[in-house]
Amino acid sequence: MGTVAADFAAFVWLVLQTHAEALHTPGDRLDPVRSLLVMKQADDPSVPARWMALAEKVTAVYDATDPVSTRRWASTGTSIGSARFLDRLARRLAEQLVAYAVPEDTPDGISVFFEPPEWSLEQTLDFLAEQGAFKNLLLTPEARGSWKFTNEQSKSPTFDVPIDNAVQDWISGTSIPELARAWMPDSIPSHPQMLELTVQSIKQAFEHAISWTAGALINLVNTHPLLTPTTPRLFAQTAWHIRHGVDTEQAITLLTSGITSRRLAHQIGRAAVEAGVGSGQLRTWVADQQIDGWVNAYKANAYEVEDLLDYVSKPANPLNELLRGRPVTIPLAWVGPAPGDGPVTLTHPGKKPATISVSRDGNQIAAIPAARHHAALTMIDSGLDLYHYLEAGQLVTTLVPASM
């Protein structure tokens, strides 16, 4: 990694491994390498010849390597040198993990018919830190230089921030300004360079190099042949938490579903864990809290509320239904006792995202649920002449015949 030749060698290795695992693959195993566009477009025939010579050398090393190792190294996505380094590190970690295995002859021993036990995220991070794994990851070409707080003018390190503690701080959901103050306490508070160095290091290390190599390492550890069925495995999703800087599965779900605020995802994730709400029920649980609940519980700003509305909204095309002469029905969140059927009015929330109220005779009687906010707002903003009324406890909207 770090050179074109190393990247090319890693690609050739992956091609060879893919060919080895495929059944009845026609042609020569290096044909995918020869067919690369750059090979065919080279003006000088000696250029592809030199690259193919390197491919042949990689092939010779591949053929001389134990098949189990070739497969493991290909799974990392790193350079071959880094893959070998990570595999050696994985063996050392696996040897340590074996000591935590539950004796198979104990009354509460884990049956071989069940999945091996998996450590929590916290246990995994503690173990990796104790074993110096994160420091070792920084030695790989993929991660080297990614974790540094350097003065751009002098090009010399100005702050020494231990990577082990920093990983824990980042995953805890601590804000970036607070991280900057904790990692560089001797710097001038709120100095622009302090924040710049923090953001730069987080982006290069946690969001890329460390999450990538840590994920590869954990996979190598968890699949190591030294581990027995009763040996605990490291938390498989650790790399995702390092990448996104949150400590719950629910927060990961939010951040990979359109929520852009790490702060918001972290808070909602923690609240969901406390409420016993899993990722499968998260969307409905968040929607049921409504816009006012998001603002009060999580201090969500306008931008964050828009993100949450996009996340909880149910797919709908109300204008298409109205223009086809069909009524649009929306369930309501009641403010008080449900009144009888009859006409109602909808109040536009204004420029800031807010709950759309449903009123009769100037008094609010209900609100549009967050999951239907976008559908209701689309109808209000359409400019169409609409008639809103209650029927069987739901809001029904139709197009006034004269405007059809």
pLDDT tens for each residue of the chain, 404 residues long? 558 898 899 999 999 999 988 877 778 899 999 999 988 888 888 998 999 999 999 999 999 999 999 999 999 999 999 999 999 999 999 999 999 887 765 555 455 556 789 999 999 999 999 999 999 999 999 999 899 887 655 554 567 899 999 999 999 999 999 999 898 877 655 567 788 889 999 999 999 999 999 999 999 999 999 999 999 999 999 999 999 999 999 999 999 999 999 999 999 999 999 999 999 999 999 999 999 999 999 999 999 999 999 999 999 899 999 999 999 999 998 877 778 899 999 999 988 888 999 999 889 999 999 999 999 999 999 999 999 999 988 999 999 976 44
Note the pTM of the prediction, 2 decimals.
Answer: 0.86
Q: What whole-number distance in Å separates Cα of residue 317 and Cα of residue 288?
A: 21
Taking a C-beta distance cutoff of 8 angstroms, is the pair 372, 314 a contact? yes
Taking a C-beta distance cutoff of 8 angstroms, is the pair 134, 140 a contact? no
Nearest to 367, CA basis, from 377, 201, 168:
377
Q: Does domain 318-403 have CATH number 3.30.70?
A: yes
Angle (CA) 83 84 87, round 5°? 85
Please provide the DSSP assignment of 268-336 as one string.
HHHHHHHHT--GGGHHHHHHHTHHHHHHHHH---HHHHHHHHHHHPPP--HHHHHHTT--EEEE-EESS
Taking a C-beta distance cutoff of 8 angstroms, is the pair 162, 147 a contact? no
Taking a C-beta distance cutoff of 8 angstroms, is the pair 166, 184 a contact? no
Would you state the pLDDT for residue 404? Answer: 46
Would you state the pLDDT for residue 220? Answer: 97
Q: What whole-number distance in Å separates Cα of residue 61 and Cα of residue 304?
A: 52
Helix (H) or strand (E) holding 239: helix 238-244
